[in-house]
Chain A
Amino acid sequence: MSTGPNRVLGLELARFRYSGASRDTLSGINLSLAPGSLTVVLGNSGSGKSTLGAVLAGMLPRHDGDALDATLHLAGQRIHHRPGAAVRIDPVGWARQVGLLPQDARHYLSGVRATVAEELALGLENAGVPRAQMHRRIAALADRLELHALLERDPAQLSGGQERLVALAALALDAPAVLVLDEPLAGLDAAVAARICELLDRLRSGGTALVLLARAVDRLAAGADTVLALREGSCHELDTAVPADAAPVAPAVRRAPGTRDEVLLGFSGVGIGYPGSARPVVEGLELTVRAGECVGLAGPNGSGKTTVLKAAAGLLCPSAGQVRGKSLAAGTVGLLLQNPSDQLFERTVAREVAFGLPRRGPAAARIPAVLDSLGLREHAQAHPYELPASSRRLVALATVLVREPEVLLLDEPTEALDADGLALLHAALAAVLDRGGAVLLATHDEAFMAATAHRVHRMGPAVAARVRDRTGGPG
């Protein structure tokens, strides 16, 4: 770590506590970032990574009782925060030095611009950059990230991975001295992830200091100068020679597919489009999912994986072909959406899981067992939004599992899950397959796909997908 004048950001944090909390979220953290450095902060969900990112980005403490005891060094200034005497931060001035990509990239997008190009330009517009210069900079960035196809799209209609890509691009366009990135590669396909890694490498060689908040060392974190482990709010330095494939590993081994031939879900010649779009998102889809089988959906961001899952759940009607299957007719299909916020709307975890269930039915009786199986019993009376991201995803999973779906549909299920959460997810999948159900999942997490899927269905943009049997592949 860098000390002295050759640093763009320094943090000496004694402690940070949220307003109304009974314990400190962060304590005893020292960071010093040199230009062009890569610092990786590893931690499980709930360890305080996102809080640390918000402190570095000047978004915490808020002026309603958060207590921060810390000194920050930024752009030649020394900023002292003391509990009860937090310094008022100019958010724009701070953001010119430190940019933050939040864990949910949707929060970075403004929601007030019509196209991706305008969304990218928002920061430049507010800084008064002339239009011609904005066009030049956006075109150069679009060349580098192959974003041209997205520039005229409505930001509200992007897939989860595309949202992350656009948010990252907008941050890169504003070119702050420090970039704090909360799981930047989550939900991105391999090609986009490679372009992001290349962009970040280029920014780094141009002097941008990167702070990567992650659950495990991934390909981006492999070249880190410093690796810190965040446990219960405190940092410990790790050996930087951590292998690049040290992502949370699937603890369960993929089981052999079931021997039953019963088709639980089938797509024949299915085409699905959205109103107003010129071309269907999915065309000529042929796919069957049998009892005891786990099928993976793979493909680039925006290739229609979520659309297929929504059609399988009966939320979208195909414009061509037919979605059939015993489970669909019986209504025993459960879908875990990519963003748990889309699926959670009650004020406690227990109410959330019980929503829509008959009070005296067998499903309601299963609630305690489902909460136990996902490690959520102690959070039963907590508000879902107050939980760490990993637990929030498990709550969304619990709302699906409590109905014992015959076909379980999962959209990027490992996003934001920590190692414990991943183990619980594997156990849940095994339980569904063991009782004769089936799983159809869409994910960019190749390790998870390899550990769980018996077959992988590769999708391209509006192109009939091809099936590649991986039954005999490495497990």
Chain B
Amino acid sequence: MPRTCRLHPFTVLALAAAATATTVAAGRWWLSVAVLLACLLLAAWARRARRLAGLAAAILAPAFGSQLLIHSMADTAGGHVLAAAGPLRITAEGLATAGALGLRTGVLVVAGLLCTLLVDRHDLVAAVDLSPAPPQLGYLLAATLLLLPALEQRQRAIGQAQLLRGATPGGGPRGWFRRVRLRSVPLVLGALQDAADRSAHLAARGFPAAGPHTRLREVPDSAAQRRVRRIALACIVLGPVAVLAPTWAGAA
């Protein structure tokens, strides 16, 4: 069972945003690697390291590949040519640029993914509902975050119903495409019908709330967490400024 984080979702998000903003602004490879390692350790504590690694690889592999293509293999500016074939040149400077940008992207992606794994989506919706944000924001967030699990459940039901009627898409890429083709139309139509059927009842129950509202769910919070959030928010602004100010001063 994955461990859950008993922190206020805004605390997790604020810490992640502060770490990401400062690391990206600093642009030091060792800092990026340290943040990535810290993220992996946190994921391991939450027993979600494998999931984080899988998701991050799925996003970062193509992103890092494109960085390599743009900055490393087709670099025209670098002086230290490591290999060349026709118009393609691999230079040490290009590799360094691709590596630095790739690490920064990695920090952004891994920190973001870690937030999705650590933060309970129902806690996040409740936190937004209980914040001074407009109630429509909580509604939009709930609809967005909870739509995917609902669609997943629905597509499973459609798959079972189709299986009962002898529709066996088979394996491999062809089977995958056939499964997508068979399930996508009923899934979308079913979701629309479901939304239409539920909307009148949701409106009757006052959802989303138009005025003052409360939540039964208690989102864990404390004075210390509120202080941490304030410091993290300050870091989001001041961290990049502190890192970049000497550069700006040097340029001036």
B207 within 8 Å of A by Cβ?
yes
Residue of A nearest to B168 (CB): A356
Q: Which of B193-242 contact A (CB under 8 A)?
A: 193-194, 197-198, 200-218
Cβ-defined contact, A131 with B161, below 8 A: no
Q: Which of A134-192 contact B (CB under 8 A)?
A: 134-135, 138, 156, 170, 174
Q: Which of B39-47, B53-61, B142-150 contacts A (4 or more CB under 8 A)?
A: B142-150
Known A91-B200, A100-B204, A127-B206; judge A121-B164 contact (CB<8 A).
Answer: no
| A20 contacts across to B, CB distance below 8 A | none
| B164 contacts across to A, CB distance below 8 A | 313, 315, 334-335, 343, 400
From residue A237, how far is it (CB to closest CB) to chain B in Å?
29
| A131 contacts across to B, CB distance below 8 A | 214-216, 218
From residue B90, how far is it (CB to closest CB) to chain A in Å?
47
A110 to B208 alpha-carbon distance, docked (Å) = 11
| B157 contacts across to A, CB distance below 8 A | 342
A315 to B157 alpha-carbon distance, docked (Å) = 10
| A400 contacts across to B, CB distance below 8 A | 164
Known A102-B201, A108-B201, A131-B216; judge A156-B153 contact (CB<8 A).
Answer: yes
A117 to B165 alpha-carbon distance, docked (Å) = 37
B82 within 8 Å of A by Cβ?
no
Known A128-B213, A134-B214; judge A356-B162 contact (CB<8 A).
Answer: yes
Residue of A nearest to B153 (CB): A156
From residue A155, how far is it (CB to closest CB) to chain B in Å?
11
A125 to B209 alpha-carbon distance, docked (Å) = 8
Most-contacted residue by chain B among A94, A100, A107, A403 (CB, 10 A)? A107
| B143 contacts across to A, CB distance below 8 A | 112
Q: Which of A178-222 contact B (CB under 8 A)?
A: none
From residue B51, how far is it (CB to closest CB) to chain A in Å?
15
A474 within 8 Å of B by Cβ?
no
Most-contacted residue by chain A among B158, B166, B185 (CB, 10 A)? B166
Please report whether the interface of chain B is mostly helix, strand, loop or mixed according to DSSP. helix
A118 within 8 Å of B by Cβ?
yes
**What 0/1 readout, one digit per residue, does chain B (154-170) give for beta carbons within 8 Å of chain A?**
00011011111111000
A357 within 8 Å of B by Cβ?
yes
| A385 contacts across to B, CB distance below 8 A | 193
B190 within 8 Å of A by Cβ?
yes
A357 to B164 alpha-carbon distance, docked (Å) = 11
Most-contacted residue by chain A among B143, B163, B164, B197 (CB, 10 A)? B164
From residue A9, how far is it (CB to closest CB) to chain B in Å?
15
Known A125-B209, A128-B213, A134-B214; judge A107-B198 contact (CB<8 A).
Answer: yes
Cβ-defined contact, A355 with B125, below 8 A: no
A150 to B190 alpha-carbon distance, docked (Å) = 27
Known A112-B142, A315-B160, A356-B166; judge A128-B211 contact (CB<8 A).
Answer: yes
A442 to B179 alpha-carbon distance, docked (Å) = 30
A111 within 8 Å of B by Cβ?
yes
A100 to B167 alpha-carbon distance, docked (Å) = 38
Cβ-defined contact, B216 with A135, below 8 A: yes
* Residues of A near any B CB (own CB < 8 A): 54, 57-59, 91-92, 94-95, 99-100, 102, 104, 107-114, 117-118, 121-131, 134-135, 138, 156, 170, 174, 310, 313, 315, 331, 334-335, 337, 341-346, 355-357, 385, 399-400, 403
**CB-based closest 5 A-B pairs:** A345-B186, A126-B206, A95-B204, A356-B165, A114-B122
7 A-B pairs besides A99-B204, A102-B197 with CB distance below 8 A are: A92-B205, A107-B201, A111-B146, A112-B125, A112-B207, A122-B205, A356-B165
